[in-house]
Amino acid sequence: MKYPIGIQDFREIRTGGYVYVDKTLHIHRVLDNGKYFFLSRPRRFGKSLMLSTMNELYCGAKELFEGLWIYDQWDWEANKRPVVWLKFAKMDYKKKGLDKALIDELQKIAKENGFSLETDTLKDNFGELILKMADRQKVVLLVDEYDKPIIDFLDDVPQAEANRDILKSFYSILKDSDALLETIFITGVSAFSKVSIFSDLNHLTNLMIDPLAYTLLGITQLELETVFAEPLAQYDKEQVKRWYNGYSWGGDERVYNPFSLFRFLSSGQLQNFWFETGTPTFLVREMKKHRYYNVQRIRVTENKLTAFDVAQLNPITVLFQTGYLTIVEYVPEDRLYTLDYPNMEVRQSLEQNLLTDYLNFPLEDPQVRVVNLRDALRHQDLNEVFEILNATLAGIPYDLWHKEDEHFFHALIHLTFSLLGTYIRSEVHTARGRCDALVETADHIYAFEFTLDKSAAEALQQIHDKGYLKPYADSEKKIVAVGANFSSATKQIEEWLTEGV
């Protein structure tokens, strides 16, 4: 199979012999249920490919769709329309400024269609373009990565807000152009509130958590096992599923990120492909600033999922919209969503980057220490376990510890043991009544409890008093309780005790 890694052009995929997962039924279903649409999805999920597919549909390129579901379901002549396709990723707004970059893009589209724009302002240019394009038929407007001029400046709030205001004025022309427009489809990563950008598009349907779009993008398990049955046969399907499946926007069915899946099938290696395409330094910094290090099983309202304010970014909102968290449960009665990591790829990558930031970017990769920790546990060498943990703690500059003893300590322990779960079964908890970390090897089950400025004996006693290990009483493995005490004075784990159960 030829995998379309990084290819976002539908025509190139279909004429170049690349594999294509047929999404035309889903596209038809969406287009048949409205006029104005907005869809937010993380990067590398196929948004640009979807718009390219729509472009070819409305341009009447029937030959490209032979063998696909929509081939004999689409009225090719009646649905043929002029298309205005704005691709923000292709615009040089960083060098030119957003206003000038948009004007140049509109002039380019006009020239490609055989006319020029005679008005002076950006807003008037846009209105004139739509009017002239709609000379004979209504226009289809496709907007790809509408929010990129804002997302690219999240570390420069004044510029991000200035670009947001330009976009708000730019899109305001669409209200008066309603009679000239057949369809509007806007995509992006973030879902800014309608008030901030799309205030005049009163009928814009937000598909972010709409059932119509649950599997519009991404690859379902059925699609994977049907389209990729032959290459998939040589791998452990459950392992592939743990690493790359798991994204959901409200439904029970979960999808794979196409980019990561294609990279895996092409290379045969379980690696962090999606994460390497854009390290979220800004996001990691915001998480640390707001003291977020355990973002598993977080319950939120719908407002937290859809609200995005440049001046007051909520890390959980950003984590969800950018794909680092996904919906794992929805309770209609409470109108609450539960968020968690979608898969191992995202969890390992984000936690590793967050741990690196907490450790002030050490020379030794934190992942190396986590692997060493795994090996020590496999060899039942608890002395080595605590030497590794103390070496990790010792590398943190004193000024980072100042007034942060408890937070820093718990963050580092949580992230370290959570990353350990990539290699062996390791669970970390913070809820009352659960131990700090539970680790299972081939022969042992360890329950770790840490106290701060108390004693290892007290930590050990809590394991017994709370009955943390009672659920494992029937296990054939050796069960070990481990109590440890961290000293805020020395910034080290000074004492630890173990006891067989």
Instruction: List per-residue pLDDT tens for the chain, 501 residues long.
Output: 899 999 999 999 999 999 999 999 999 999 999 999 999 999 899 999 999 999 999 999 999 999 999 999 999 999 999 999 999 999 999 999 999 999 999 999 999 999 999 998 999 999 999 999 999 899 999 999 999 999 888 888 899 999 999 999 999 999 889 999 999 999 999 886 554 677 777 778 999 999 999 999 999 999 999 999 999 999 999 999 999 999 999 878 899 999 999 999 999 999 889 877 665 677 888 888 888 888 889 999 988 888 777 777 788 988 999 899 999 999 989 999 999 999 999 998 899 888 888 887 777 788 888 999 999 999 999 999 999 999 888 877 776 665 556 778 888 888 898 888 877 777 777 555 678 899 999 999 999 999 989 999 999 999 988 888 888 888 899 999 999 999 988 889 999 999 986
List the strands of the sheet with 181-188, edge to edge. Answer: 83-87, 139-144, 181-188, 36-40, 205-206
**pLDDT of 284:** 85
User: How many Cβ atoms are within 10 Å of 168's Cβ, its own excluded?
Assistant: 16
| d(C-alpha 456, C-alpha 458), whole Å | 5
What's the gap between Cα 278 and its chain centre?
11
Q: Please, are residues 302 and 335 in contact by the beta-carbon 8 Å criterion?
A: yes
The neighbour count for residue 332, using CB atoms within 10 Å, is 6
The pLDDT value given to residue 400: 66
Cα atoms in the Cβ-side hemisphere of radius 13 Å centred on 316:
20
Residue 451: closest CA among 489, 398, 414, 487: 487
> In the prediction, which pLDDT does 196 show?
67
Residues forming a β-bridge with 255: 220, 247
Q: What would the two tokens of residue 286 be?
A: 């915001």
Structure tokens given for 409: 């300590």
Amino acid 327: pLDDT: 96
Both tokens of 370, joined, read: 């986590």
What single-letter DSSP state applies at residue 464? Answer: H
Long-range Cβ contact pairs of 291-296 (< 8 A, separation 24 or more): 291/407, 291/411, 292/316, 293/354, 293/358, 293/410, 293/411, 293/414, 293/415, 294/414, 294/418, 294/428, 294/430, 295/319, 295/324, 295/325, 295/339, 295/340, 295/341, 296/340, 296/341
If DSSP codes are grouped into helix, strand and coil, which group holds residue 242? helix
Query: Two tokens at 52?
Result: 């390219």
Torsion of CA 230, 232, 233, 234, to 10 degrees: 120
Q: How far is CA 402 from the centre of its chain?
A: 33
Q: How far apart are CA 127 and CA 123, in angstroms?
A: 6
Q: Note whether 118 and 128 are within 8 A (CB).
A: yes
HSE value, Cβ hemisphere, 13 Å, CA-based, for 165: 6
Q: Please, what sign has the CA dihedral across residues 43, 287, 421, 269?
A: positive
Under 8 Å between Cβ of 445 and 479:
yes
Q: CA angle, corner 437, sides to 433 and 438, nearest 5?
A: 95
pTM surpassing 0.75?
yes
